Every structure is written in C-alpha cells, then in structure tokens.
Amino acid sequence: MSQEGAQEQSDRKKYEFRKVIEDLKDYDGSGTQLVTIYIPDDRQISDVVQHVTQEHSEAANIKSKQTRTAVQDALTSIKDRLRYYDTYPPDNGIVLFSGAVDSGGGRTEMVTKVLESPPQPIESFRYHCDSDFLTEPLEEMLADKGLYGLIVLDRREANVGWLKGKRIEPVKSASSLVPGKQRKGGQSAQRFARLRLEAIDNFYQEVAGMANDLFVPQRHEIDGILVGGPSPTKDEFLDGDYLHHELQDEVLGKFDVAYTDESGLKDLVDNAEDALADAEVMKDKKVMEEFFEELNAGDLATYGFEQTRRNLMMGSVDRLLISEDLRKDVITYECPECDTTEREVVDRRKSTPTHTCTECGTDVEGSEDAREDAIDHLIEIAEQRGTETKFISTDFEKGEQLLNAFGGFAGLLRYSTGV
C-alpha cells in the first residue's frame, strides 16, 4: 500500500474508532460490571483466555447476584469473541468491551464491541472491570498525530529519535571526544583551541550523519524536526548547516533542554509543546487556505453534502475535506411515484424524517435501511474514485467554518465541473 493509501486507511479507521468510543462512553453499567480488555499483539490469545477464565471463577465471589451474573456474562461473551483469533491478535492488538448497560426503564442490555488493530500498538495488557468502559488509552491513540524527528545535543553527547504520536522512541546516541576547556600543561593555547574546534566540528558532523541516516529516508512523511540542547551548541549545530538540506527545512524550532541523554528527548518534546500543536494544525490550515482561495478566486472548490457527492461521483475531487467534529447521517429516499432519488443529511441523534419529493411533491417515508453515516457514505465513493480524504480539525477559524458554514463537507477539485 502507498504511504498515502495507508494514511487514508488510518484516517478512516480513526473515524470508525472515534464513533465506537463515543457510543461506549454513553453507556453506564448499573454496578461494577463493564469489562474492558486491552491486548497487545505479542500476547498469546490462549493466555488471555486463561486470564478471562480466572476472572470468571473469581467473579463467583461477587456478593450482588445481579452484578455477579452481569460480569460473568460479559466474560463469557469476551471468551466467545476470542475464539475468532488464532495464536496472536492482529497487528497492534485488540480491545474488547463487554457488559450489561442501562437501556432505560430499569432494563439492561448486553453490549459487546471488539476493536481490531488500533492506529497505534497497544503497549500493555489491561484488564478493567468498572461502572464504565475504559476508553482513555484508545482516545489518546486517536488524538495522536504526526511523526517528528528529535535531536538533542551538547558538545559531549547526543541522542536522536522519533516522536510518533505521543510516543518517544530513542534510536541512536553518540558521545564526543571533545576535550574540556582546560588545556593540559605544555600545549600552546592556540593549538589547543584549534584542536578543540576541530573536535567540535567532527562531533557535529557525526551527529548530523546519525540524524540524516535516520530521518532522510522518511523525509516525506516527517512533520517536522525538533532540536534541543544548551546554548550555543544547538545554534552552532543548526547555523553550521550540518544537517541534510531537506531536513534543515523541516526544523520547527530549537529548544533549551537540561539533559542530552535519552531523558533529554522527553524534555525536548515537553518544551516544544506549542510548536507541535501549531505544526499539527498547520497542515489543516494550509488545505483550508487553498479551499478559500479557490472559493473566492478560482473554480476548484465545492462544498455541501450533495454538491461534494456529485463531484465525487464524477471523479473530479482531488481532496475530500471533512470536519473532524461532524456527526451526521444521510438518508436516501426513492420516490415511489416518479423514481427520483434524493438525500437528506440529518443529525446522528435525530430520528428519520419524512421527505417531500422535490420533483412531484410526494411524501416519502424514510427507512432505517436507507440511513447511514454520511462520512462513511462519502469516503466510500472517494475510495472508489481515488480521492484522498482529509479530516480537518475545528481548532482554528477556517476549520470551524468548514463545520458551521459549509456543512462539514467540502472538496478541492482536479478540474472545474460547474457543479
């Protein structure tokens, strides 16, 4: 799969996950009876089954009969689901949710959800039984975006690594042979200073080499590079153009850090928090600027569900823009009198309205079967037509406008269609 394809897949997956999480968060268990299990992909399924079996027998000690039954039912349901897997879970692991939730009117309903292959690897096994489902680790994963290169250095030591979402991965380190400022007796001051500068230059080259080896192969996916260290080391390093020129262009900023060991990488990320937040929103900003330019002065912009959909069907959309905060369904109506097909977009929590055919005025009842998630509906067409989908955050003005003024859907076109 191409990088872009993989990115799209993960955007779509993130959207699917976000929806499930929103539903799960709405549920309440009437006691401590909702079970959540996070399973990393290197954990054997048989181990997990054993763990669940153990929990099942321990649940026999729960005093309240209702809670006891509910927990045991949840665990049985989870065990049933685990049967679908071979030795190990799929890549990045799985998360299982199961339990009896309040369905109103004093009744409960059994809910079981399985999420496979989250956008990032599940790092540790977790078993959680509480009055609500444990969704935070997944939510954190979904909030995670971006790939950043990290470099920390002083004149003695350097570390390079990655920031992937919220995870810091130290990769390589180096230490220098730069002598201290104190020269030994018998050395001329000039010669000592020259040797010292040479050693510093050599070390910067070594650090740059390390960073280039790591970052250059992924320079097209990198969202930015952060450089940390004391002054003037990081300034010398950046001003001296040691880094590959394409990497140099990706440097988001330089930051003071107290340490240059692995803990310095964490320091760097903490201190760069604002720059990172800006960088994340910057990508969305650029696309929206382009959209507004086309809207005002060009003819390659489209917006609104129906127009965007028509353009998508024609294959004329280059990038489909969807507001991250949009939660809408689309209902398709077939008029029984004149065969006209029309659609209405409604709030996800609203019931299905009756539609009046614009061709012949017949009232058409909406059916639940003809109702689906509006985003899924458009993404599916986009995928068939080779259109890239971008989710746009609402954390900036033009992003908010996409949601509020343009219905949450827009597109940048490959060519003008007049639609």
Between 287 and 335, CB nearer to Zn ion: 335
User: How many residues of this chain interact with Zn ion, rule: CB under 5 A?
Assistant: 8
Q: Report the alpha-carbon distance of residue 226 to residue 173 in Å, rounded.
A: 16
Going by DSSP bridges, is the β-strand pair 147-153/317-323 parallel, antiparallel, or unpaired?
unpaired
Single out the segment in contact with Zn ion by CB under 5 A; choices: 145-153, 174-182, 246-254, 357-365: 357-365
In three-state secondary structure terms, 273 is helix
* CA 278/CA 393 separation, integer angstroms: 12
Span of 148-156, 177-185, 270-278, 352-360 interacting with Zn ion by CB under 5 A: 352-360
Helices 65-82 and 45-58: angle between axes, nearest 10 degrees: 170
- Cβ proximity to Zn ion, 6 vs 338, nearer residue: 338
- By beta-carbon proximity to Zn ion, the closer residue of 342 and 400 is 342
Question: Toward Zn ion, which CB reaches closer, 197 or 360?
Answer: 360
Q: Measured from the CB atom, is 143 or 360 closer to Zn ion?
A: 360
Q: How far is the CB of 366 from Zn ion (least distance, A)?
A: 14
Complex with Zn ion: residue 58 or 337, whichever CB lies closer: 337
Distance CA 67, CA 32 (A): 7
φ, ψ (nearest 5 deg) of residue 179: -70, 155
Binding mask 62-81 for Zn ion (x = CB under 5 A): --------------------
Whole-number minimum distance, CB 337 to Zn ion, in Å?
A: 5
Q: Give min distance, CB of 333 to Zn ion, in A.
A: 9
The least distance separating Zn ion from the CB of residue 79, rounded to whole angstroms, comes to: 52
**CB of 149 within 8 A of CB of 250?**
yes
Q: Using the rule CB under 5 A, give the single segment among 274-282, 287-295, 355-363, 374-382 that binds Zn ion.
A: 355-363
* Integer Cα distance of 81 and 112 in angstroms: 9
CB of 341 to Zn ion, least distance (A): 10
CA distance 248 to 225: 8
In this complex, which beta carbon is closest to Zn ion, that of residue 109 or of residue 359? 359
DSSP string, 279-342: HHHHHHHHHHHHHHHHHHH-S-EEESHHHHHHHHHHT-EEEEEEETT--EEEEEEE-TTT--EE
Q: Can you tell me the distance from the alpha carbon of 33 to that of 22, in angstroms, rounded to the nearest whole number?
A: 19
For residue 5, give both structure tokens: 């394809």
Contact mark string toward Zn ion, 326..345, x via CB under 5 A: ---------x-xx-x-----
Closest approach, Cβ 361 to Zn ion, in A, equals 7
Query: Is 362 one of the binding residues for Zn ion (CB under 5 A)?
Result: yes
DSSP SS3 for 256: coil
Residue number with CB closer to Zn ion (277 or 360)? 360
Residues 184-223 that bind Zn ion (CB under 5 A): none
The least CB distance from residue 364 to Zn ion, in Å, is 7
Q: What is the C-alpha separation between 181 and 171, in angstroms, rounded?
A: 30
Binding-site ranges for Zn ion (CB under 5 A): 335, 337-338, 340, 357, 359-360, 362
